[in-house]
Amino acid sequence: MGRSTRGGLRGVRMVGAAMSKFGKMDRSMREEAAQTGLAALNRSGLDPAVVEEILVANAFGLVDHQGHLGPLIATSLGLEGAATATVESACASGGVALQLAYTSVASGHTDATLVVGVEKVSQVDSKTATTYFTYGSDVPFEAGCGATFPALYATLATAYLHKYGATEEQLAHVAVKNHKNALANPNAHLHKAISVEQVLKSPYVAWPLKFYDCCPFSDGAAAVLLVSEALAKAWGVGGVEVLGSGRGGSAAQLSTRASLVEIPGTRQAAAQAFSQAGLRPKDVDFAEVHDCFTIAEVLAIEDLGLVKKGKGAEAAVDGLTSLSGDLPVNPSGGLKAKGHPVGATGVGQAVEVFEQLDGRAGARQVKGAEVGLSHNIGATGGSCAVHVFRRV
């Protein structure tokens, strides 16, 4: 990745962040996206006119008959001169848009890029929403054969439990932890404490994954403002440093992968982000990772290098990844309980990192957090994005 030129990149700061309450969106997608973008701009304290580019992360707008969201959102914000684009990488749309925005600012192409993720699926029934989600798979070879995402992740879970002797009970602890964290997040979709027993007794969706191993369908919007370090300093604002911004990919179909107990794209994106940041996994104080299913959090923390391979399922059990543990994972509640409004998900992770590193996460504050990581994947990891942030 052209590392020799890294030195030529400018420092990038995240100086504003905001999200809607995830769950059910009453406003139209464009209204919610614009209001959330405005809230992020207001939070930054910068004049909105500094924004030169707006990248919109959205997966399903076109299915609901509205594409080309960028100019609509820009116009709503009074920024109709801004260059825009919609970025779609299935459930990684937000993280991928964030990475492209980082490159825009780091390269000097813009001084300020606003990233707005937005999704609304509640206007359709849950069967239709499930169908929308399958468009992120290799449709003729996966969804078309009945392999929806619960089935695909169940395949990964089966391989994992078999190889490492992990248990359904261990996976249940991931769900319990993330639901508990979400209780302290006013913007989370689900505010419901659950027990390991409840998870284990919930109906199977695709063995070994049960109802409570799966994240909900959510509506929502999230926005972050990235600016050059120079612009942040000129405006006298601190914010959060974006130290590393990486992306990676994996073979589209699970059936062609060499291993079912790792996501190659996560490893690649993490290697890139850590190398760029000049940090190692052990430097991370907390992480927001892609836990669309409980097994996904387990694989994520292993592939990110935060725990050893095969040790991820124990992490929620022994408290390592709890809010008071040595390595809090998904303090926001994660996709599992904060919610998963596809295009907004990866941007929402960055919002949580911002709140944590800004010390404003309230009852879910990770104590002494200096370095945070976000990890967002599309489908079963066909697209992956990893970001490393540090408090200024």
Task: Collect all residues with Cβ–Cβ distance below 8 Å to 289 and sequence separation of at least 6.
Answer: 296, 297, 300, 301, 304, 329, 330, 334, 373, 374, 375
Q: Does 278 bind a copy of itself (CB under 8 A)?
A: no
Nearest Cα neighbor of 213 from 325, 299, 296 is 296
In the region spanning residues 10 to 39, those forming contacts with a copy of itself, defined by CB under 8 A, are: 10
Q: How far is the CB of 100 from a copy of itself (least distance, A)?
A: 6
Which residue in the list 173, 290, 340, 387 is annotated as catalytic? 340
Q: Per CB under 8 A, does 282 bind a copy of itself?
A: no
> Of the candidates 36, 104, 178, 332, which one interacts with a copy of itself according to CB under 8 A?
104
146 binds a copy of itself, rule: CB under 8 A: no
Site size for a copy of itself, by CB under 8 A?
71
* Residue 346 in the binding site for a copy of itself (CB under 8 A): no
**CA triplet 324, 328, 331: central angle to 5 degrees?**
95
Does the protein bind a copy of itself through residue 129 (CB under 8 A)? no
Question: With binding defined as CB under 8 A, does residue 67 bind a copy of itself?
Answer: yes
CA distance 229 to 236: 10
Using the rule CB under 8 A, is 233 a contact of a copy of itself? no
Question: Does the annotation mark 340 as catalytic?
Answer: yes
Contact 13, 46 (CB under 8 A): no
Q: Which two tokens stand for residue 91?
A: 């459930």
**Per-residue contact flags (x/-) with a copy of itself for residues 106 to 125, judged by CB under 8 A:** xxxxxx--------------
Kindly identify the residues of this chain, within the stretch 170-209, that bind a copy of itself according to CB under 8 A: none
Q: Does residue 375 carry a catalytic annotation?
A: no
184 or 251, CB closer to a copy of itself?
251
| Alpha-carbon radius of gyration of the chain | 19
Q: What residues from 292 to 331 belong to the interface with a copy of itself (CB under 8 A)? A: none
Rounded to 5 degrees, φ, ψ at 61 are -55, -45
Count CB-CB contacts under 10 A for residue 87. Answer: 24
Of residues 348-367, those binding a copy of itself (CB under 8 A): none
Does the N-terminal peptide bond of residue 208 adopt cis geometry, omega within 30 degrees of 0? yes
